[in-house]
Amino acid sequence: MESIAVAWGFNPEGGTINFSFSTQATHSSLYEYIQLIRGPRRPRDGFFFRAESYYNLATTIDELDSQPSFARPIIESYGGKSLHEQSHGESFFSTFIHRFGEKGLYILDEPEAALSPLRQMAMLTRIHELVLQNSQFIIATHSPILMAYPDSIIYNLKPDGIEVQVLEETDHYMIMKEFVNNKDRMLRELFEEA
């Protein structure tokens, strides 16, 4: 995800193409070996959402907004309230609701990390609204809820290559289904091995 985002010109730590900050340069050079193929329709908006460095993004927004400026505060694009003054999940959701717009390219790396199952379903609704407005999403997720988006293509990255899967064949779906349908047996097995 990081390599695709950086090849597009996004900041490796997340944010928009025009939002550059760095807390530590730890990204790989894989982006140098990716060749992007662009169609005639260019995204009008975009965002690289990276769960692991989202805190750094929120901090940078607060820092930039605390400096004197004639520009509109950056936080207004995220709903107007500091992302640090919200719960982790609410701050994620504020970005999806307020910062994402039509005709965008959105690269999301584990966006479900702070979202409850109910919020993940609300995120599906938001994704659908934006897809209907000609936005495109590339998402790395462990969430069977997010993978359930209709007509999505699920790629499973394996040591021996990449394969396309249907939701019901993914490990995440099968494990979650087995646990929900057979909780007591699964807990017995887990605790017997411990």
Q: What is the pLDDT of residue 69?
A: 80
Burial class (CB in 10 A: 0-12, 13-18, 19+), 131: middle
For the entire predicted model, the pTM comes to: 0.89
Tokens in use for 16? 């928009």
pLDDT in tens, 128-165: 999 999 999 999 999 999 999 999 999 998 999 999 99
Helices (H), the chain: 2-8, 54-66, 88-94, 117-131, 144-147, 171-181, 183-193
Tokens in use for 180? 């929900």
CA distance 172 to 154: 12
What average pLDDT score do residues 173-187 get? 95
pLDDT in tens, 14-34: 888 887 776 666 666 766 767
Q: Where are the domains of the chain?
A: 2-151, 153-194
